[in-house]
C-alpha cells in the first residue's frame, strides 16, 4: 500500500490516454488536406468538435461525481483523468478551430476553454505544492491553537506593559487590537497585513528600551521576547490562511468559468445547426 | 374488626415482589402486596436519575407477567406501574410489616399501623436496601449527610464528599463532578470492586483533576461547622493523620446488609454470623420456616431478571405447579437439532462427560454457557471456518472429529477429536484464523462467542489452564514446525512459558546473551537498535511470528532490542531445546535460517533509512499511535491532502449523516497523519463492556456496531483512541438529493449534516465500519480526490514505512 499523487495514478493511466488522444488528433490533422482549408466544419473538424464537447461534459461531471459518494470509480481516478484529459483538450479544441478565429461566440467559447484550463493548471500547481507547506507551517498546531496561543501572549504582554511607560503600553495595545489575521480577500491571499501593528511593535520596542528604571529593563526584555513570539505566531497563522485561500481561490474562478464555457458551448453547437 | 385473609402475602414490591404479585393476580389467587413506602419498587426509584438499568444475564428468558428490558430508570418504573394496574395487583402502600407470627397456612402479619392480616403463605421480597449501611460515626444523620443520590443535576457549585469506592460511589462522583467539586473517599487503597468502565472513567477524571481522591482513608466523624464557608466538616482519617474537609454535603454509598434482626424475629435462620450472609433456602426458595419463601436480593440474587423469575417461580411452587428452569425450553430448542443428544439433562451430561474443558463448570454455569453458544452438526467435509477469516468464536468438539489444514486446504496437518477444542489461536491473538477447519464424520460442535469465552477464562482458573496448555503447544506447532514429531514438540514446549508484557516492556536487549525464542501470541513488538547514540526502530513484528531467532542462528549476542508495542503475550522457548530440535530437524533449521535472512534484510533497510532522519522514524511514530494493535488504519498523507474534507463528507453521506472520522484531529509525523478513525483493533477495547453485545467483528475483520446498540456509551468511554461517538441518528433518514441541491438549490448538500433539531432522534454509538457493506470499499478512501487517504493493514506497515522513507530520501 502506497501513497501516489493524482498525476501518478495507476502508473499514469490517464496521461497515456491523453497523449494517445492528442497524438491521434494531431496526426489526423497533419494528414488531412481538405479543399476548404482546415476549420470546424470538415469531417475531422466535426469529429474533433464532438470529441471536445464530450470531454467538456465529462470534465464538468467531476463536480457531480465528487458529491455522488457511491459513484463509480475512485475520486482520485476521476481527478487524474480530469487533469490529463483537460490538458489534451487544449490540443483537441485548437485543432478543431483550424486556427479560424473571429469576434463571435465560437471564439469566445474557445477562449473560455483556454481560461478554464489555464486556471486549472494553477489549481494543479496549488494542489501539488501547498498541502506540504501547510503541514510544515503548522507542525503539531492548528489554526485554533495558534489563535489561542496569541490570545495568551496578549494577556501576558498587557499585564507586563502596565508597569512600563505609556508609549510602550500603547504600542502593545495597538498590536493586540489592530493586528488582523485573515481580513479581506487580498490580505488573505497575500498572507500579510500592510504595516502590521505587531511587527511595528517589535520594531519600536527595540528602540524604546532606553532610560528605563528599576524592574523596568527586565520587564521590557520579557515584553520584547513576548512580542517576538507573537510576531512569529501571527506570521504562521497568516501563512496558513494564505495557503488555504490560495488552495481554494482558483476554484471560485474555475467553476463559474466552466459554467460560462458550458453556456457558450451550447450556443456554439446550436449555432452550428443553423449554419447547416 | 374483621381480619383480612389472603392465600399469599408478598412483602416488598421490588422486582421479585412485583413479579410474584402479578403472577398471583393473573392466576386469580387471593393475594396482597405490601410496600412500606408510598410508591412501589423503592430501590429502583432511588437509582440515580436517568440511570440505565441493565437486563443481565442476556440469554436468560424473563419469566414474569411484568415486562422488563434494558432502559432508563424512568422507563422501567413507568412500565411496571402501568402493568400493576393492568393486572389488578392488590397493592397496599405505606404498609410496613412489624411482625410475623404463626406458621404454614395461618401466618399473622402485623403492620406498623397496628393493622393485622392473615395469610397462608408469605413471599418475603424486601431486598437489602431497607438496611443501608450508614457511616457508623457521630454526625451520620446530620442534615446534608445522605445515603442516596436521585438527581445529580440538583446540586451545583458545592463541595461534596462522596464516601465509597464501589460502583455506586464512583457513578455518583462522576455524575456530580460536572457542576461540583467532588472529593471521593475510599477505605481501600485501590478500586478493586468496581466495573471496568467506571474505573476507566474515574481514572480519567482523576488525571484531569476533576475529582479529588483520598485512598486508604476512613471516617472519623462529621461535624456541623457554623459560621464558616462550609456548613459541614468531614473529618477523615488518612494515612497521614486526621484531615478536616469543609463541604456542603456528604454522600455515603456503602452498600447494604440483610436486615438480619428483623428476619430472625420472623424465625428465619442464617448459616453464619457474617453480616453479609443470606438466609438458607431450599431449591424452591422456602426458608426454614415452612410456608415462608424468600426471593430476590435477600435470597442472594441481586440481578433484576433473576429476581423477577424467582418471584414468579415461588408462586408456582406455593401452588404446587410444576416449575422447570426458565432456560429449559431454550436449551431444548438448541439440542433439538441433534437428536442423538437426547433430553436436556442427557445432553448436558454427555457434554460434560465428552468435553473435559467444560467439566469443571457448575450446572448453572454450563447451562449459561450453552445458552450463549450454538450447537452445530456440520456435514462431513463442510468447512467450519477458513484460513484468514476474521471470525473469533471458540469451538468444542462433542462428538466426531475435524481436520485442521494450516497451509493447504487439500493437505490436513492434524486431526482433532471429541473432547478437543479449537479456535483458541484467534481467540488469543485477535487476528485472522491461522488455518482452515473441515468437519469429519458425525461431527458435533459447540460454538461459543469470544466475549463469553473470555469471561469464562477469566472466572475459571481450570478452564484458563487447560486452554493455555493446549494453545501453547498448538501455537508452537503451527508457527514454528508443522513437521515436528510429537516427541520433539513435547520436548520443545516442556518448559515453555507464556509471558505477559505491558506496552513498552522489553523482551530482550541488544547485545544480551540469547535466552531463547519468543513466539508472539498476541499483540506486536518492535525491533530496535542503538544507532548514533539513540534507539531507532528498525522493524515491526506482529502476532503469529517469532523473534529472537537471529541470535540463535548466528550464535552471536542479541542483534537488537525487542520491545512490546502494545500489551502482549509471548511464548518463551528455551534456547538449548530450540537448538537441539533444530539440529534434529533440517526443515525447521532451514526455515529459521530463511526467516533470519529476511529479518536481516528488513533491518538492514530500516537501518540505512535511519541515517540522516533525526526526527525519529515513522514506525515508532505509528507504534506510538497504537498501530501495534490495529488491523486496519486510515493514514492521510498531508502533503497530498488539500483539506477539502471530501473524506468526511463521503463518510457522513454513506452513514446516516454523521462522519465517523475526524480528518483534522490526530497527530502528524513526516506529513503522515493518523486521523481519529477506528483502527479495528485486534482485541477491540470497545467490545469489552457492551451490555447488548452490539459490537461485532465481521469475517473480513471490520469491527462494527449493530442495530441492538442502546446508546449506553460504554464503548465511547472504553475506546483509547476516541474514535467512537454518540450521535443523533435519524431513523429512516432519506439521503439528500444531489440534483435537487445542485440545480434547484433545495435541501442540503450530500455529505453535510441535516437539521435534526425538530425530528425524533435517538443517540446511539457510531464508529467506522470500513464501509463493510459497500462492495467498492471504504467511501473515505474512494472519495479522496488526491489519493491522500489510504488504509493500511499490519502486514503492510513495514513496507509502507520503508516506501515512505524512500520517497522522503
Report pLDDT digits (tens) over B390-399. Answer: 888 999 999 9
Over residues B282-291, mean pLDDT: 89
Q: What is the pLDDT of residues B696-743, one digit of tens each?
A: 888 888 999 998 888 888 888 888 888 999 888 766 667 778 888 888
Strands, sheet with B546-547, edge to edge from the N-terminal-most edge strand: B497-501, B568-574, B516-522, B546-547
Verify whether the Cβ–Cβ distance A70 to B642 is below 8 Å. no
Verify whether the Cβ–Cβ distance A66 to B787 is below 8 Å. no
d(CA B633, CA B646): 18
d(CA B542, CA B795): 8
Contacts of A187 (CB under 8 A, 6+ apart): A180, A193
CB atoms within 10 A of CB B456: 21
**Angle separating helix axes B363-372 and B450-459, nearest 10 degrees:** 160
Optimal mutation site among B630, B639, B778, interface A, most CBs of chain A within 10 A? B639
Over residues B484-503, mean pLDDT: 87
Q: What is the pLDDT of residues A85-115, one digit of tens each?
A: 999 999 999 999 999 999 999 999 999 999 9
Q: Are strands B181-185 and B159-163 parallel, antiparallel or unpaired?
A: parallel
pLDDT at position B612, please? Answer: 46
Lookup: cell for A190 = 497575500
Over residues A210-218, mean pLDDT: 86
Q: Give the nearest partner residue to A66 out of B638, B646, B779, using CB atoms.
A: B646
pLDDT at position B615, please? Answer: 37
Cα nearest neighbour of B785 on chain A = A76
Is residue A213 over pLDDT 90?
A: no
**DSSP per residue over B617-656, as a string?**
-HHHHHHHTTGGG-SSEEEEETTT-----HHHHHHHHHTT
Q: What is the pLDDT of residues B357-370, one digit of tens each?
A: 998 887 777 888 89
Q: What is the pLDDT of residues B436-451, one digit of tens each?
A: 999 998 899 999 988 7
d(CA B547, CA B526): 10
From residue B334, alpha-carbon distances to B337, B351, B356, B365, B443 in Å are 6, 13, 21, 16, 16
pLDDT at position B594, please? Answer: 84
ipTM of predicted complex: 0.93
Over residues B139-168, mean pLDDT: 89
CB atoms within 10 A of CB A125: 12
Q: Which of A151-165, B125-139, B397-411 has the lowest mean pLDDT?
A: B125-139
**DSSP per residue over B473-485, as a string?**
HHHHHHHT-TT--
CA–CA min distance B696, chain A (Å): 24
Instruction: Dihedral sign for Cα B328, B330, B333, B338, please.
Output: negative
CA–CA min distance B85, chain A (Å): 53
Q: What is the pLDDT of residues B192-230, one digit of tens each?
A: 667 666 777 888 888 888 999 888 888 999 999 876 788
Over residues A229-255, mean pLDDT: 95
- Quick one: B461 exposed, middle or buried, by C-beta within 10 A (0-12, 13-18, 19+)? exposed
Beta-carbon-side half-sphere exposure of residue B761 (alpha carbons within 13 Å)? 18
B804 chain-A contacts, CB cut-off 8 A: 3
CA–CA min distance B779, chain A (Å): 7
Residue pairs spanning A and B at CB distance below 8 A: 96
The larger pLDDT score, comparing residue B118 to residue B543, is at B118
Over residues B93-112, mean pLDDT: 91
Q: Which of A51-55, B667-671, B781-785 has the lowest mean pLDDT?
A: B667-671
Whether B738 and chain A come into contact, CB under 8 Å, resolves to yes
Confidence of residue B760 (pLDDT cuts 50, 70, 90): very low
Beta-carbon-side half-sphere exposure of residue B668 (alpha carbons within 13 Å)? 22
Residues of A with CB under 8 A from a CB of B: 1-6, 9, 63-64, 66-70, 74-76, 78-79, 127, 130-132, 134-135, 140, 142, 244, 247
pLDDT at position B610, please? Answer: 56
Over residues A202-222, mean pLDDT: 88
Over residues B121-137, mean pLDDT: 88
> Quick one: residue A211, left, alpha or beta (phi over 0 = left, psi -120 to 50 = alpha)?
left
d(CA B544, CA B97): 64
pLDDT at position B801, please? Answer: 79
d(CA B221, CA B230): 16
Verify whether the Cβ–Cβ distance A135 to B668 is below 8 Å. yes
**Angle separating helix axes B73-86 and B15-27, nearest 10 degrees:** 20
Q: What is the 3-state secondary structure (H, E, C) of B304-320?
A: HHHHHHHHHHHHHHHHC
User: Helix, strand, coil: what percent of chain A each, to 5?
Assistant: 75, 0, 25
Is A157 in contact with A172 (CB distance < 8 Å)? Answer: yes
Verify whether the Cβ–Cβ distance A5 to B787 is below 8 Å. yes
- The SS3 of residue A46 is helix
Whether B804 and chain A come into contact, CB under 8 Å, resolves to yes
Lookup: cell for B392 = 473469533
Over residues B766-771, mean pLDDT: 93
Verify whether the Cβ–Cβ distance B649 to A69 is below 8 Å. yes
Contacts of B597 (CB under 8 A, 6+ apart): none
d(CA B477, CA B471): 10
pLDDT at position B193, please? Answer: 64
Mean pLDDT estimate for chain B:
86
CA–CA min distance A154, chain B (Å): 26
Q: Give the nearest partner residue to B738 out of A1, A64, A79, using CB atoms.
A: A64
CA–CA min distance B664, chain A (Å): 8
pLDDT at position B289, please? Answer: 93
Q: Which residues of B98-113 are buried (b: 16+ CB within 10 A; e: fewer)?
A: eebebeeeebebebee
Contacts of A220 (CB under 8 A, 6+ apart): A164, A168, A205, A208, A209, A212
Q: What percent of chain B has pLDDT over 90?
A: 36
pLDDT at position B680, please? Answer: 92
Q: Which of B6-10, B386-390, B429-433 has the lowest mean pLDDT?
A: B429-433
Optimal mutation site among A60, A65, A73, A75, interface B, most CBs of chain B within 10 A? A75
pLDDT at position B620, please? Answer: 81
pLDDT at position B616, please? Answer: 45
pLDDT at position B649, please? Answer: 93
pLDDT at position A109, please? Answer: 96
CA angle A168, A150, A238 (to 5 degrees): 105
Mean pLDDT estimate for chain A:
93
Whether B806 and chain A come into contact, CB under 8 Å, resolves to no
Q: Which residues of A4-19 are buried (b: 16+ CB within 10 A; e: fewer)?
A: bbbbebeeeebbeebe
d(CA B594, CA B581): 17
pLDDT at position B761, please? Answer: 60
Q: Cα-Cα-Cα-Cα dihedral of A56, A61, A63, A66, to 10°? A: -140
Verify whether the Cβ–Cβ distance B799 to A68 is below 8 Å. no
Is residue A50 over pLDDT 60?
A: yes
A131 chain-B contacts, CB cut-off 8 A: 638-643, 786, 788
Is residue B118 over pLDDT 60?
A: yes
Q: Which of B56-60, B243-247, B716-720 has the lowest mean pLDDT?
A: B56-60
Amino acid at each position: 500500500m502506497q501513497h501516489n499523487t493524482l498525476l501518478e495514478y495507476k502508473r499514469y493511466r490517464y496521461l497515456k490516454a491523453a497523449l494517445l488522444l492528442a497524438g491521434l488528433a494531431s496526426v489526423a490533422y497533419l494528414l488531412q488536406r481538405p479543399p476548404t482549408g482546415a476549420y470546424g466544419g470538415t469531417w475531422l473538424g466535426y469529429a474533433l468538435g464532438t470529441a471536445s464537447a464530450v470531454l467538456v461534459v465529462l470534465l464538468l461531471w467531476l463536480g457531480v461525481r465528487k458529491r455522488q459518494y457511491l459513484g463509480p470509480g475512485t475520486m482520485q481516478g476521476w481527478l487524474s483523468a480530469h487533469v490529463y484529459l483537460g490538458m489534451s483538450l487544449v490540443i483537441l479544441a485548437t485543432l478543431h478551430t483550424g486556427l479560424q478565429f473571429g469576434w463571435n461566440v465560437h471564439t469566445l467559447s474557445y477562449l473560455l476553454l483556454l481560461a478554464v484550463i489555464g486556471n486549472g493548471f494553477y489549481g494543479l500547481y496549488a494542489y501539488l505544492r501547498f498541502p506540504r507547506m501547510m503541514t510544515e507551517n503548522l507542525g503539531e498546531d492548528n489554526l485554533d491553537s495558534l489563535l489561542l496561543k496569541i490570545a495568551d501572549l496578549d494577556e501576558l504582554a498587557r499585564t507586563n506593559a502596565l508597569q512600563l511607560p505609556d508609549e510602550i503600553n500603547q504600542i502593545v495595545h495597538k498590536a493586540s487590537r489592530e493586528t488582523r489575521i485573515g481580513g479581506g480577500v487580498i490580505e488573505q491571499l497575500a498572507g500579510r497585513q500592510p504595516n502590521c501593528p505587531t511587527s511595528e511593535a517589535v520594531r519600536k520596542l527595540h528602540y524604546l528600551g532606553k532610560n528605563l528604571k528599576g524592574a523596568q529593563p527586565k520587564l521590557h526584555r520579557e515584553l520584547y521576547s513576548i512580542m517576538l513570539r507573537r510576531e512569529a505566531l501571527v506570521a504562521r497563522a497568516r501563512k496558513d490562511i494564505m495557503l488555504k485561500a490560495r488552495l481554494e481561490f482558483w476554484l471560485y474562478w474555475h467553476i463559474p468559468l466552466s459554467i460560462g464555457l458550458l453556456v457558450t458551448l451550447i450556443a456554439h453547437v446550436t449555432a452550428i445547426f443553423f449554419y447547416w | 374488626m374483621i381480619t383480612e385473609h389472603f392465600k399469599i402475602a408478598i412483602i416488598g414490591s421490588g422486582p421479585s415482589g412485583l413479579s410474584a404479585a402479578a403472577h398471583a393476580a393473573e392466576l386469580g389467587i387471593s393475594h396482597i402486596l405490601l410496600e412500606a413506602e408510598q410508591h412501589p419498587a423503592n430501590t429502583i426509584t432511588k437509582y440515580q436519575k436517568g440511570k440505565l438499568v441493565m437486563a443481565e444475564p442476556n440469554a436468560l428468558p424473563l419469566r414474569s407477567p411484568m415486562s422488563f428490558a434494558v432502559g432508563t430508570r424512568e422507563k422501567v418504573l413507568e412500565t411496571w406501574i402501568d402493568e400493576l394496574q393492568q393486572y389488578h395487583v392488590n397493592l397496599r402502600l405505606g404498609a410496613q410489616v412489624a411482625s410475623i407470627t404463626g406458621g404454614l397456612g395461618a401466618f399473622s402479619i402485623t403492620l406498623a399501623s397496628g393493622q393485622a392480616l392473615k395469610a397462608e403463605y408469605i413471599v418475603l421480597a424486601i431486598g437489602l436496601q431497607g438496611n443501608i449501611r450508614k457511616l457508623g460515626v457521630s454526625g451520620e444523620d446530620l442534615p446534608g449527610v445522605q445515603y442516596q443520590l436521585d438527581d445529580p443535576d440538583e446540586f451545583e457549585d458545592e463541595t461534596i464528599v462522596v464516601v465509597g469506592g464501589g460502583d455506586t460511589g464512583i457513578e455518583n462522583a462522576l455524575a456530580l463532578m460536572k457542576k461540583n467539586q467532588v472529593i471521593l473517599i475510599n477505605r481501600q487503597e485501590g478500586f478493586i470492586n468496581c466495573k471496568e468502565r467506571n474505573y476507566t472513567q474515574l481514572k480519567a477524571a482523576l488525571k484531569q483533576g476533576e475529582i479529588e481522591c483520598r485512598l486508604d482513608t476512613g471516617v472519623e466523624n462529621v461535624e456541623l461547622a457554623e459560621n464558616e464557608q462550609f456548613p459541614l466538616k468531614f473529618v477523615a482519617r488518612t494515612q497521614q493523620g486526621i484531615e478536616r474537609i469543609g463541604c456542603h454535603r456528604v454522600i455515603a454509598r456503602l452498600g447494604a446488609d440483610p436486615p438480619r434482626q428483623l428476619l430472625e424475629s420472623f424465625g428465619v435462620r442464617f448459616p453464619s454470623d457474617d453480616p453479609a450472609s443470606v438466609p438458607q433456602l431450599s431449591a424452591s426458595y422456602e426458608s426454614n420456616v415452612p410456608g415462608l419463601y424468600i426471593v430476590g436480593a435477600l435470597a442472594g440474587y441481586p440481578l433484576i431478571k433473576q429476581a423477577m423469575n424467582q418471584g414468579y417461580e415461588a408462586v408456582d411452587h406455593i401452588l404446587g405447579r410444576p416449575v422447570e428452569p426458565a432456560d429449559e425450553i431454550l436449551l431444548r430448542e438448541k439440542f433439538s437439532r441433534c437428536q442423538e443428544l437426547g433430553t436436556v439433562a442427557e445432553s448436558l451430561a454427555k457434554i460434560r462427560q465428552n468435553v473435559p474443558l467444560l467439566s469443571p463448570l457448575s450446572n448453572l454455569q454450563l447451562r449459561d454457557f450453552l445458552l450463549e453458544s450454538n450447537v452445530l452438526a456440520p456435514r462431513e467435509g463442510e468447512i467450519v471456518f477458513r484460513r484468514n477469516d476474521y471470525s473469533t468464536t471458540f469451538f468444542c468438539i462433542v462428538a466426531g472429529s475435524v481436520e485442521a489444514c494450516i497451509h493447504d486446504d487439500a493437505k490436513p496437518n492434524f486431526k482433532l477429536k471429541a473432547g478437543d477444542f479449537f479456535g483458541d489461536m484467534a481467540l488469543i491473538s485477535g487476528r485472522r484464523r491461522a488455518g482452515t477447519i473441515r468437519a469429519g464424520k458425525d461431527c458435533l460442535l459447540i460454538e461459543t462467542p469470544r466475549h463469553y469465552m473470555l469471561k469464562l477464562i477469566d472466572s475459571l482458573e481450570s478452564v484458563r489452564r487447560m486452554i493455555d496448555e493446549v494453545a501453547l503447544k498448538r501455537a508452537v506447532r503451527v508457527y514454528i514446525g508443522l513437521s515436528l514429531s510429537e516427541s520433539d514438540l513435547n520436548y520443545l514446549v516442556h518448559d515453555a512459558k507464556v509471558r505477559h508484557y505491558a506496552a513498552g516492556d522489553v523482551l530482550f536487549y541488544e547485545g544480551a546473551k540469547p535466552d531463547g525464542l519468543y513466539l508472539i501470541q498476541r499483540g506486536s513488538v518492535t525491533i530496535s537498535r542503538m544507532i548514533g547514540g539513540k534507539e531507532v526502530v528498525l522493524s515491526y513484528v506482529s502476532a503469529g511470528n517469532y523473534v529472537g531467532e537471529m541470535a540463535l542462528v548466528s550464535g552471536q549476542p542479541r542483534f537488537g532490542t525487542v520491545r512490546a508495542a502494545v500489551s502482549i503475550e509471548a511464548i518463551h522457548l528455551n534456547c538449548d531445546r530450540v537448538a537441539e530440535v533444530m539440529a534434529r530437524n533440517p526443515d525447521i533449521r532451514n526455515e529459521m535460517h530463511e526467516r533470519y535472512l529476511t529479518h536481516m534484510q528488513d533491518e538492514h533497510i530500516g537501518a540505512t533509512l535511519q541515517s540522516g532522519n533525526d526526527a525519529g522514524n515513522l514506525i515508532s511514530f505509528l507504534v506510538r499511535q497504537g498501530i501495534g494493535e490495529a488491523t486496519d488504519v486510515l493514514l492521510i498523507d498531508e502533503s497530498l491532502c488539500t483539506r477539502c474534507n471530501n473524506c468526511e463528507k463521503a463518510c457522513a453521506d454513506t452513514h446516516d449523516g454523521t462522519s465517523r472520522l475526524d480528518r483534522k484531529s490526530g497527530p502528524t509525523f513526516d506529513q503522515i497523519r493518523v486521523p481519529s478513525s477506528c483502527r479495528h483493533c485486534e482485541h477491540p477495547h470497545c467490545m469489552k463492556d457492551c451490555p447488548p453485545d452490539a459490537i461485532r467483528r465481521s469475517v473480513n475483520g471490520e469491527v462494527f456496531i449493530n442495530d441492538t446498540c442502546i446508546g449506553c456509551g460504554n464503548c465511547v468511554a472504553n475506546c483509547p483512541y476516541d474514535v467512537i461517538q454518540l450521535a443523533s441518528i435519524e431513523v429512516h433518514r432519506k439521503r439528500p438529493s444531489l440534483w435537487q441541491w445542485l440545480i434547484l438549490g433545495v435541501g442540503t448538500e450530500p455529505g453535510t449534516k441535516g437539521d435534526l433539531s425538530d425530528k425524533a432522534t435517538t443517540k446511539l454509538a457510531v464508529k467506522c465500519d470500513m464501509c463493510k457493506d459497500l462492495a467498492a470499499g471504504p467511501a473515505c478512501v474512494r472519495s479522496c480526490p488526491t489519493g491522500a487517504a489510504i488504509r493500511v493493514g499490519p502486514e503492510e506497515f513495514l513496507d509502507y514505512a520503508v516506501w515512505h522513507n524512500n520517497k522522503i530520501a
